[in-house]
Amino acid sequence: MFTISSDPILGSISIVDTFTTINAPTFNKIGDNYTLSFIKLKNVKYFKTFNYETSGTNDYKYLVTQYRISKDAINWTNWLDLNSEINNFPPFDPKQTLYIDVKWTRAGDSNTGVITLLNYNLSGSVARNIVTDFTSGK
């Protein structure tokens, strides 16, 4: 089960999961996909980095990752490429609730063997709680 950690003081958010051999998503043939939905995220400004590990990949069989976002789980952006450095995150108001879907799809030229998703980490920024201390004179 994934873990969402949000720190409004540091302004960070991360969504992480490590799968066991029992529950790890597997991709047996080209086109197989696996999608995770993260719902009702609060105060998110953007996601900046995404990393994941697999077993069974090579130059001829690999996973392609994409994501989409919504503020109401009804109207979604198009699927966008999800790279390790996320430089295409659409403008988003952190006062709105964020829904995000992340999708892995098997691609390449080979249907031989199985690809297994081992873990992932999606990290970004949330609106910070800024407290001003007027008592210190600074």
Residue 14: inside a domain: yes
The pLDDT score that the predictor gives to residue 38 is: 96
Flag whether the pTM goes above 0.85.
Answer: yes
The answer as to whether 83 is a domain residue is yes
The whole-number pLDDT of residue 85 equals 98
Closest alpha carbon to 39 in 12, 68, 11: 68
pLDDT of residue 1: 79
pLDDT given at position 128 = 85
Query: Over 80: is that where the pLDDT of 77 sits?
Result: yes
CATH number at residue 32: 2.60.120
**Tens-place pLDDT, residues 19-63:** 998 999 999 999 999 999 999 999 999 999 999 999 999 999 999
What is the C-alpha R_g of the chain?
18
Tell whether 134 is covered by a domain.
no
Residue 103 lies in a domain: yes
Domain that holds residue 49: 3-126
